Structure 1
Amino acid sequence: MSSILVGSAPDSWGVWFPDNPQQTPYTRFLDEVAASGYQWIELGPYGYLPTDPARLTEELDSRGLKLSAGTVFEHLHQDDSWDAVWSQIEDVAKLTAAVGGSHVVVIPEMWRDPATGATLEPRDLTDEQWLRKTRGMNELGKAMFETYGVRAQYHPHADSHVDTEENVYRFLDGTDGEYVNLCLDTGHIAYCGGDNLAIIERAPERIGYLHLKQVDPEVRAKVEAEDLPFGEAVKLGAMTEPPLGIPEMPPLLEAIDRLNIDVFAIVEQDMYPCSPDAPLPIAKRTRNYLGGCGVGAVRF
């Protein structure tokens, strides 16, 4: 029997930064995610939730919440990047493990600024850069697990070098499933024109974690036609609550169920910036929708 443990994340409350006046305060996020009926959450940007393990544990326990994962960005394809990336990983992995989390979601840094659209580096990696990234992730995943006991789950992302279905396969082919697996973000895959079900079918043994989100097809078409940066796309409502977008959730959850694995499936709807009153009703509707998809393995 498989178990799909559904939770939510600060991202679904419009949180992208450790500290930003446009964002929901962390205490309100914790109160509302618990009120929505979820018990599993992610750290979000390091520093948004308390970084003292005892204080964070107290905040979570008082609301009946548990931590599934932390999140960190990487740029391992760049020269001499290991020390900088590992320094961030250590902070996140240490805190995650200290409060009972078992995963760290690793996201590739974007090649263009999400807010301004400014190009920060070329869209495509050279063969040498691909090798540095995949080898670096193998080393990173091994070090994370051996040092802190947490698993690296790699998250393909829009406007990054690991974005399209083709690049996802290239990344998986270059990494070792013993230490690095896939955080399948259903929204980012669809946003970049990929097929989530095809990825699950081709690499079932590499599905280690899920982010559940949907994309508005009309906004996606506009993004593709005008080559809009991701931040602008989010402001246009690119990521929408189910069942208003793609991919369809029931077939996807059914495909995961057939893998007979225990996996976290964290609802992560990009909403930065948003009205402080917007997230809670969406979170409640989304939980009810996912619970009604008819997949027995779904747990909250």
Structure 2
Amino acid sequence: MELDLGAVRAFVAVTDHRRFGEAADELGISQQAVSKRIAKLESDLGAVLLHRGPAGAEPTEDGAALLVPARALLGAADQAADAVRSRRRALRVDVLGTRLAATELVRDFHEATGADVEIITSDGLRSAGPALLRGAVDAAFVRVLGPVDPALAHTPVCLDPLHVLVGARHPLAGRRQVRMAELASATAWMPGNTPGTEWTAWFADLAAEFAVTITNRGPDFGFDHLLDEVARSADVLTFAGEGVRVPWHPEIVRIPVAPPVPVYAHSLLWRRAHRHPLLPALIAHLRAGYRPPTRARVWLPPAEQHLFADP
């Protein structure tokens, strides 16, 4: 004998609501259809599963014995259906922000392949790792610092060169490039640098290496507010990666840093056992576009020295 899943689902719904009408509303079928499914299940099992009375439907001893395995059966069936449906949904990719270089990499992948992707924003490695492990996202762009969970794999995919943003009245505003040594006495305002994050750790290494002062004073009211404040000042500056889409501002000047330019290393992180059909294509696309850096051209923090192409 094979149990009818529709009948089992009707039985569980009735035991949950105690009313056939409410169970019918949950299932999106008529009350008569619920009654027919329950009758079929009782016939198939040769047992009365529900007592029907003025107070509602209550499971019999046989019904109570069926309830736990019935829930497990429905859970397994739903999981099986989700396993197929998840292969047809969009590839969910976690990024730190939609203005950053990682989002442009996903867009390039979409335009090159036509792949259906969905962008999810989070707060970096500390939330992306757990999201990957529970299957909420399929891949994440993060800065990897040290070992990760053995269930996760990662690969470097992008090196984002550092740019300096200053107001039009800043002494550096007319420069085409600036060397990090020239910023030794400067203070960079980075209100979005949250303690404990991988990007704040990168800027801490930058400050230590080049004697730059970096502050996150005051509330973070967003990127537009930051640009307004920098534009009004003749001495405050901030940093942004080359891949960051900075909104146009009439009083903001963007200056590349001269080699060896500090670069922020983005990696793609994914769960080894989770294989969305589009995930291998995304990994291959990103690996094909990545070029290991050379020491003469870029600066990397100590934790990422292994990324250099030269020994």
Q: How does the TM-score come out when normalised to structure 1?
A: 0.23
Task: Considering Cα pairs closer than 8 Å and 6+ residues apart, tell me whether 1 or 2 has the greater RCO.
Answer: 1
Q: Whose strand proportion is higher, 1 or 2? A: 2
